Structure 1
Amino acid sequence: MSQLPSSFDGAERDVNDMPFYEKMIFHCKQQPLVPLGTLATTVAVILAAQNVRSGNKRKAQKYFRWRVGLQGATLLALVAGSFIYGKSKQDRQSQDELLREKAKLREKLWIQELERRDQETQQRKLRAELARAKTLELEQESQKLQAGEGRGK
């Protein structure tokens, strides 16, 4: 099968093929609220732990409540982002399928064009060969006529 056009060369790399650091950045760009929520939840846990150590139970309780709220918000952001990103991924896949079908159609049309050109070339060769044969035939007839005129003189 022939090589597909170069419009497919710049395709996005697969996430599974990326190194860990690039994969982490990719996912953070896809769902920026999740890492922020995780960071905020971690800060709330650290502050709660510090207040438990220092004996300030009221502040510790307040930070633990913040942790629960932030954890819930992070989970909500994760689910919402997955839903939104999942939809866009499906859209992107359907667009990729359309592009593939378009490329197949272009390839099919190009093959048909090449076949048509090949037929035209073969027909031209056939016409040229017939013309050569006709020319050769006419030359032979003219030589016969010239030979016949040479005898008659």
Structure 2
Amino acid sequence: MSHLPSSFDGAEQDVDDMTFYEKMIFHCKQQPLVPLGTLATSVAVILAAQNVRSGNKRKAQKYFRWRVGLQGATLVALVAGSFIYGTSQKDRQSKEDQLREKAKLRENLWIQELERRDQETQQRKLRAELARAKTQALESEAEQLQSELDNVSKGSGKRN
């Protein structure tokens, strides 16, 4: 079967075909809490390291505790996002199957429409041929009548 163009073609690029930067943006859009959690965890580690250098052990300990909490929250966001994304990927797969079925249906309908048009064209050609034949028959009959009329008028003209 030939492939008919669809508005769904090229709508979503395959992840394997993306560059690293495109993949990073794609995944950040899918799970926005993970990059935010990673950034917050990094900030907590940097602040803790600065306070260790300056000798402020209480603040350093506080920021290390924040790091652990933020890291846990990021992990929870990652697992939850993976669970949600995994089910949406199954939904997307079923939607793709539905789109394929719809495309096949549209293709079959298009083929039926072309066959119907072809039949109509053949019927029009047949009607045109019949009309031409009828026209020729009428023209030959008219010629015969005309010749008979001419013969009758010649015959009546000789008598006068």
2:20 counterpart of 1:39: no
Corresponding residue number in structure 1 for 2:96 = 96
**For the residues of structure 1 that align with 2:99 and 2:66, how far apart are their CA atoms?**
48
CA distances 1:34-67 after superposition (whole Å, capped 9, x unpaired): 1121112212222333344344555444433432
1:2-58 Cα shifts (integer Å, max 9, x gaps): 5324x2257133344444444323322221111121112212222333344344555
Partner of 1:111: 111
- TM-score under structure 1 length normalisation: 0.78
Shift, 1:115, TM fit: 1.1
TM-score, L = length of structure 2: 0.75
Alignment RMSD: 2.7
Q: Over residues 88-124 of structure 1, what are the superposed CA-to-partner deviations in whole Å (9 max), with x where a residue is unaligned? A: 2322332233223212212211221121011111111
For 1:113, give the aligned amino acid: E
Identity of aligned residues (%): 80
Gaps of 5+ in 1: none
Larger Cα Rg: Structure 1 or Structure 2?
Answer: 2
What is the alpha-carbon distance in structure 2 between the residues aligned to residue 15 and residue 23 of structure 1?
A: 7
**Take 2:73 and 2:14, find their aligned partners in 1: how far apart are those partners?**
29
| Matched residue count | 152
Distance 1:148 1:101 in 2: 70
Distance 1:2 1:122 in 2: 27
* Residue type at the aligned position of 2:43: V
Q: Is the contact between residue 34 and residue 77 of structure 1 (CA under 8 Å) also seen in structure 2? A: yes
Structure 2: unaligned runs, 5 residues or longer: 156-160
Tell me the equivalent position of 2:75: 75
